[in-house]
Amino acid sequence: MKKRMLIALLIPAAVAAYYFYPSAPLPKGSVVDKLVVYKSKRKMHAYGNGQLLKTYTVALGKDPVGHKQYEGDNRTPEGTYTINDRNLNSGYHKNLGISYPNAADIANAQKLGKSAGSAIKIHGLRNGSAGYINKFHHLKDWTAGCIAVTNSEIDELYAAVKPNAIIEIYP
């Protein structure tokens, strides 16, 4: 019985520690050459030279199940893309651009008579809203199709992800 009580006390403490204490940073001098996102787990793994460097908890598009079909569907794309852009001055705290849409994405959207959309990013929180939200932002999927992390996490990713790094996004 004492073991169950101890576990019952430790679980809330571990959850509180996650939300209120900073996570371990990427190792100094890290170069991230690959990101792998598992949408169903809300996890993103950062790799350098085939080694897992860090795992991030993420928020996704408001309707995350399935591959992005068209602009406005609030889905996060699935497939293999690259990190093709960086922006220090967006409406969110920094962002890394994802090379969505590719030719297949455009063709699929055209079949539906719609635009595939664009501007899919990995980004921090909306400018001016970070304060108390921090890690609580991923308790609900809230983006229009992007992948969201905390501001401190996008800071380290912005510095560490090399241009044209691969990003694989799985269901």
Secondary structure (3-state) at 140: coil
Q: Which residues are catalytic?
A: 123, 146
DSSP 100: -
Say which residue the tokens 């992390």 belong to.
149
CA distances from 89 to 73, 123, 139 (A): 25, 11, 26
* Distance between CA atoms of residues 147 and 37, nearest Å: 9
